[in-house]
Amino acid sequence: MTEYIERPLYIERIKPFIGKSLIKVLVGQRRVGKSYLLMQLKDLIHTQSPETQIVYINKEQNEFSSIANSDDLFAYLKENIKGEVNVALFIDEIQDIESFEITLRDLVTRKNFDIYCTGSNANLLSGELATFLSGRYIEVKVFGLSYKEYMLFHNLSDSGSTFQNYLMFGGLPYLINLNHDIPIAYEYLTNIYNTILLKDVVSRFNVRNVKFLENLVAFLADNMSNIVSSKKISEYLKSQKINISTQVVIDYLGYLEASYLIFKVKRTGIEGKKVFEIGEKYFFEDIGIRNAIAGYSTNDIHKILENVVYLHLRMAGYSVTVGLEGNKEVDFIAQKAGEKIYVQVAYLLINQETIDREFGNLLNIFDNYPKYVVTMDELAETSAYKGIVRMHVKDFCLKMVNSVNMGFSELK
């Protein structure tokens, strides 16, 4: 068996579907650890059901380069599967097999196939594919390491310096091999960024203006956590003598989202269901990649903290929006299973004016859902201010991931 550090956050989500006639699809940015999760599932199935034949296809390995389309995939399986045995099929980076959904639709109707695959493109389960496989798959979004996982992978204890390292380097698992050497780690992260840009954006979407694409990513890295719009980006670029239409900006933003490099977070009314169509925030899938692009600076600490909090809310299974009502903004409204929490992120509460600002908008929300202000202030313990929970950011991140399988009662 391959050596790896287990990630129960995801394995426990998939376990109920093992052996079921559903395609288990792990999606996420390159190098967040999807392949190792497949290996963990492969070993788990081998242990639980040793008579099951395991077939593993990794499209990033040269030995599988001949599997280019659905027909090739079907022929490979026909050649390598003997008899009517139970088969656990694992396909890594399945989007590199053209029309793969045709073969998967056939296989999922055969009761002896248990299918798992990974992909690095958000369009993997959209359009025709969703129609082809409707009701026959589950999707599990895989993120980089949470703060809790980061400590486990790097064999570190919870402390201010450990959290600072997490903010600086992010959560790509391979960084455990680079020993927090800043130049080497950022060179690795830059290489991953370039691979995502070239393979998952430029090549897949036939992008011609690569220079503009790079400038767009740099703009997003610098304006992370700010409310922006495609029109605002287009106008900014024109001020820099770069004439790009709003539609091209919209298209390129969509490509970056599809590659899981960035997330778009929409704005909604704080107390109602109104969704604002113009203006959103953009966050990075991995804060380390963002820092490799824009540089790590304490001047950007608030942006970085917002990004990390957003990621932990998503890891915990929440859908997340930015709350807006008039000129009042709440950083995050997070919802899951009919429940809701409000989260305000601040660097330091240095004076009463800052305290009034960060707590004020939450105090004006008259419902009973939990409300949090999370900061980098060194607190003796979690406390409350007029019913609003005040926590250190790292404690909030730990609580989010620890509470994934515990329900909302553990958060209040």
CATH of the domain at 350: 3.40.1350
Check pLDDT > 90 for residue 411. no
Lowest mean pLDDT among 131-135, 172-176, 344-348: 131-135
Q: State which of 264, 296, 328 marks the end of a domain.
A: 296
Q: Band of the pLDDT at 5, cuts 50, 70, 90?
A: very high
Distances in whole angstroms, Cα of residue 233 to Cα of each of 83, 129, 222, 246, 247: 58, 32, 12, 8, 11
Q: 321 and 224 share a domain?
A: no
CA-CA distance, 103 to 114, in Å (whole number)?
13
Nearest alpha-carbon partner for 411 in 377, 380, 368:
368
Q: 195 and 284 share a domain?
A: yes
Q: How confident is the model at residue 412, as a pLDDT?
A: 30
Q: Band of the pLDDT at 404, cuts 50, 70, 90?
A: low
In a domain, 339, yes or no: yes
Q: 277 and 358 share a domain?
A: no
Nearest alpha-carbon partner for 115 in 33, 18, 43, 39:
18
Q: 316 and 274 share a domain?
A: no
Check pLDDT > 60 for residue 188. yes
Q: 277 and 304 share a domain?
A: no
Q: Band of the pLDDT at 134, cuts 50, 70, 90?
A: confident
Q: 43 and 134 share a domain?
A: yes
Domain containing 225 equals: 181-296
H-helix segments, 155-245: 160-169, 182-195, 204-205, 210-222, 230-239
CA-CA distance, 97 to 123, in Å (whole number)?
14
CB 30 within 8 A of CB 201: no
CB 282 within 8 A of CB 228: yes
Structurally, the chain folds into a number of domains equal to 3
